[in-house]
Chain A
Amino acid sequence: MLSRVKGIVWYELKMRLRSRLYWIIFILASGFSLFVPTPLNYPGPEDALRFYSDWWLAGQTFSALNLLMTLLAAFLVADRILRDSNLRIEEIIHSRPVSSMEYVIAKYMASMISLSLISIPAIIGVPIIKRLLLGVEMNLLPLLIAFLVMYIPSMVFVASLSLTGTTFARSAPAFYGVFGIIWYFDSVYFRVAESTFRGVFNFSGTSSFQAFFSATALGFTNDMYLISAGIAGLNLFLLIMVSGMMITALIYHEKMRRSATDYRIHIKKSRQ
């Protein structure tokens, strides 16, 4: 099973990296995440001071990256399964001994790897910018933690929602329309989690940001509602759990489409 999954992931990635859209989003996201946290955007003395904090800078970088990528990830990932149907490849895949679980998990993993690669310029670039502008070394740990608690959970959720939503709706544009509205309310309209409820239910990474990386959390001016680490943890748990449920539903959906389960139901009915 692992070898087959590995093979699908490899070729899915290859196709993804050959797509122009991927590189446009890669450049856009890299530029955005590198530009937003620089002192050019925060000219005040206190902001410059924050810039010295590796934790604040890491949080700000991934906050910017998340704002963009929670939207654009959907465009990169959504049609990965539907595309096989649109390209008329689905039947030759389904007539092979590849299980629905292998197929869906491999597609999902490839999506996650391609989305993760987009954060590399930020992880490498921000320390370089800081060194160039301030002449001080940046500790990489906050960036890696921000990557793990802000970027990855958001991408896990958006990727599973996009793959599942589009496959169920059988239409990528329809999904983009609905997702665009969800994204607007989650990441723009309610950008800052101002209550415990909002802290628990969001996929923009704002809970982790407010709990671990915000100026408030780091002891600067109180400019943001402070989310407790427990609430942020609950948010992460819910994102991962809901994503897991969506992927499980997708695997079941794909399995049903391949008819084997359906067949037994038919046989039963015909015998009655």
Chain B
Amino acid sequence: MRWLRRLWHRSLTERRLDSELQFHLEQQIADYVASGLPPCEARRRASLEFGGLERFKEECRETHWENHVEILARDFRVALRGLARDRRFAFIAIFALALGIGASTAIFSVVDNALLEPFPYKDSRHLVTIRLHDQDQADRWRGAFLFAEIQDIRKQNHVFDGMVANLEDDIVYSAGDGNLQLGGNFVSSGTFEFFGVAPFLGRSLAAADYQPGAPPVFVLRHATWVGKFNSDPSLIGKTFMLNGVSRTLVGIAAPRFAWGGADLRMPRGPDEPKVLREGDFARHWGVVAHLKPGVTAHEASADLNVIAQGLSRVYAKEYPKHFAMEVLSFGSAVLSPRFRNSLYVFLAAVGLLLLIGCGNVANLLLARAAARKKEFAVRAALGASRFRLVRQLLAESFLLAISGAMLGIFFAWAGVKTLAAVIPDFTIASETVIEMNGAVLLFALVVGVSTVFLFGLVPALQASRCDLHDSLRDTGKGVGRTVGRSGLRNAVIVLEVALSLTLLFTAGRFMRSFVALQEVPLGLRIDHVLTARMPLPAARYKTAAQLTSFFRPLLARLKSVPGIAFAAETSTLPPYGGIRSEVEVPGKAHTEKWDTLFQLCSEDYFSVLRIQFLDGRSFTEAEVNDVRKVAVINQTFRRRYFGDENPIGRRIQLKELKEFSDPLNDTWFEVIGVVADVRNQGLQEPLWPEAWIPYTVTGSFMRGILVRTTNEPKSMIKAVGKEIWATDPSVAMAQPETLEYFLNLFTFAQPRFGLWLVTIFAAIGLLLVTIGVYSVIAYTTSRRTHEIGIRIALGAARADVLNMVLRKGLQLVLAGIAIGLAVSFALSRLIISQLWGVSATTVSPSSRWPSCSLPLV
């Protein structure tokens, strides 16, 4: 236990070391005196020979480990004192480090969660969906299939080892005191096993539930159970009236199971001949398949194309002339490719931020190292070994790194929480859970911390490399001597300025595209408009007459409500799409297919949206109620299909109406009016020709209402709901919201999110770079105080000195700007090509209005 004793009796050890060396010295002196030298000469000579007593003492001390503990503690005390003395430096370094680590971890985590591993499903990387493209029209495709079609694909394919299907349906839950509108999903047998998710509570749907005559059951989505049913576990086993059918709740699905986005899932075998709704679109089922091991999406597409040739003969109506099957990964089908691109831009931006942060820390450490050169020279002269100097600096770096890392972890945590909260709806897959990624955090920490250690050790290297005398003499008075040594610092500054400029440039592009987006003329007024989808019970509302029997009294009632100026029926949510149809105009020969969008609406549609008439008039209430075949067209329609001719009184044919489940025999309409162009494909896609016809012509298609209010539209939701209830108690509004809300959600939320993110990055980057430039200029200037003094004494004017100092800084900044501009211009093509992509059109509004804009061939 000698070492323990020694640790306690350190002062004793120290005294003994002293007296041992002292003894040696005295013996030497005594010997010299004995050999005849005078005592003072003997002492001088002995001392000279002995050399730096302190240094040997230090070396002797280092052979004892217990001193290391002591030295370590002292190193940390000194480091802490040093940092406290240089508080500004410490704060900036820690902050820069933390910001770099935090921001990059947060964004990397989001990208990882949203892009790389978004799904909690079994082998989700090999899950795919199928699309059928019309090769004559690039943007026409369908991702849903007839049930029989799916059965055929399942039997004939060689590439999938599992396939499930789902069918969306609106569900009205009648709960004694009112109706609750829910999103339903019929799922094919084996769905839960296919996805490999265990139920949260109760059980999943089992094979027995699909047997003929099995009692009707359903499984509730976890989020719905929490949000709408107060997480009440006693609900399991209870029965619910859903669309008039009494169903038993058998389980709550796993929290992250969200395929199809439905609130509840019901068994419904694809083999059942008749599906719930007789609508045109509800018959199409969504599909997810699992690729066999080793099969690529490309191979699967090829296989399906062969099968599709056969299918196109069986289901001729469902297939266009030229088509191609595409198998694409589940994730890419769910996540908008444009948002994916934005995320990659953010990723790059945040990488730059981490670089700038580390560059800043490096620079601060380099500047500090240069300023402390003398200090370290003195230490070395007083006997500090290189090892001691390194250790001293390591202690400092360690303190910086630990503080930076802790703050960085906090920033990362806060960043992930914030990002997860502000990512707009429908942007990422609903299965995705945004959480901090440990591996990524570790990576950022390693990068940041190693920067600190790497550059923190520079003073030790300098001290051991350069000549002591030089360092001691050179106390910052050298003129222009620091140029070579400051090369690294300057390079870092130039790089930082360039990086920051690139970030600013990117932010600028985002801002411009966002402003441009907001300035797109809509052609309609979105303020004070309330809209709601109106799912009607399919059994009672099939024909045009049945549909009219609901909407006619409802619209009349709504118009009499105080606070409602106009009320109209609509078939889609403006300004997002309409029903596509082939169109014919008599007397106009054309070789290519003519297309238009059309809407089924009531007479007040144009008043609600304040759409401007250029020619003619809107239909009257009488025309709507009498099912007159009249149509209003837009300016693009007129220009494209009528040219300079006057369209009023001319006839057009909307062929698609023949294909509806409640079809029209005569699909010819007389044009009675022309309106100014109104956006009908979102804000960024080109305008389509569009026509409006009375809603009373068919009972098919999804319907909704548009209401112009005189005051705050949301305050009218209750009043509108009351009138609907009074018209038919079995109907409920689905998602009543303002038009402004939808426009914001579908079109502006993602670009705004992107803009905010990039702007924050750019601001942080600029801040860091400003600090970086300042610290270097301040440092170099302080080193030249002496020189400046001499210059002034020799007659230099104030302006000359300023000029001298500023020129240096300006040179660095200009160099950085030049590089930054070059990089920005190089990037601009890339960024522009994806910028419009921070857009909404790909956030398919079909998720809100499922049937209306489901792109069908």
Our verdict on whether A and B bind, yes or no, reads no
